[in-house]
Homo-oligomer: A and B are copies of this chain.
Amino acid sequence: MMEADVQTETKTQEKRGRKASKELRQMQLIEATIDSLAKRGYAETTLADVADGAGLSRGIVNFHFESKDKLLVATLQHMADEYANHWTAQLEAAGDDPARQLWALVAADFDRRICTRRKLAAWCAFWGEAKSRPTYQALCGARDERYQQTFVSLCVTLKADGGYGFDAEGMALSLCAMMEGLWLRLMLGDGLTRETAYAAAVEFVVAAFPRHFTHAGVLENGRS
């Protein structure tokens, strides 16, 4: 899963670079943590399992991270950063057209790199503990803050442009919620595939913004 990266790093960085090796170990342990969360769930994730998964010794986690708790926080932080970086990049790559931007954001959530069983399972594990752990809640919430605002802005713009009757904030909220709900279902299994989930999301976006999208993609009309 992350062995490939480790191998690469080993070849390129092994001889020189004590500092780099340290960060490498931390990444290695974080990836092993995600594996364990996905395989055994939050409650059954043990440091022993993480260490085994990384092919290292038992005490290693407490050396690189101070405690199990900090390892988990670092793992969630890592996932939150990765997620934010991804949608931000996709948003910028979409150019200036709001319709294209919204389309890109929806697609970003179902990107192969982000929308993995493994990572969805890890997200869900943290969600399950978030209510009783303020730190998790903050990191899960921080994920939403900018994301949600971006959606609201796009809905406001598209509403004005297309003359839709919906409330922009409500629509933005239901859109975001729908995608998270699809993630949840993907994780729960049920034979739902990433493609099917993406298709369902598209279905709704097309229904909500009929003057901007079809199932084939973004409509090319400027404005009325």
Alpha-carbon distance A44/B185, docked complex (angstroms): 25
Contact B188 A127 (CB under 8 A): yes
Selected interface stretch from A56-64, A85-93, A172-180: A172-180
Contact B128 A207 (CB under 8 A): no
Chain A 183-224, CB within 8 Å of chain B: the 1/0 string?
011011110100011011111101110000000000000000
Q: List A38-75 residues whose CB lies under 8 Å from chain B.
A: 38-44
Selected interface stretch from A13-21, A25-33, A133-141: A133-141
Alpha-carbon distance A182/B182, docked complex (angstroms): 11
A22 at the interface (CB under 8 A from B): no
- A174 CB contacts on chain B under 8 angstroms: 178, 182, 200-201, 203-204
A124 at the interface (CB under 8 A from B): yes
Selected interface stretch from A1-9, A94-102, A163-171: A163-171
- Label chain A's interface by main secondary structure: helix
Alpha-carbon distance A166/B205, docked complex (angstroms): 10
How many copies of the chain does the oligomer comprise?
Answer: 2
Give which listed residue, B42, B165, B200, contacts A177 with CB less than 8 A: B200
Given A171-B207, A185-B177, A185-B180: A190 and B44 within 8 A (CB)? no
- A180 CB contacts on chain B under 8 angstroms: 177, 181, 184-185
Contact B129 A188 (CB under 8 A): no
- A175 CB contacts on chain B under 8 angstroms: 204
Contact A188 B43 (CB under 8 A): no
Given A203-B170, A206-B166, A207-B208: A124 and B127 within 8 A (CB)? yes
Alpha-carbon distance A181/B124, docked complex (angstroms): 12
Smallest CB-CB separation from A39: which chain B residue? B132
Contacts A43-B129, A177-B184 known; 20 new A-B pairs at CB < 8 A: A38-B131, A40-B132, A41-B129, A42-B129, A121-B131, A126-B128, A127-B128, A127-B184, A141-B189, A141-B190, A164-B207, A166-B206, A167-B203, A170-B199, A176-B185, A177-B200, A178-B178, A181-B181, A204-B204, A207-B207
Q: Which 8 residue pairs spanning A and B have beta carbons closest together?
A: A128-B128, A177-B181, A181-B181, A170-B203, A178-B178, A41-B132, A180-B181, A174-B204
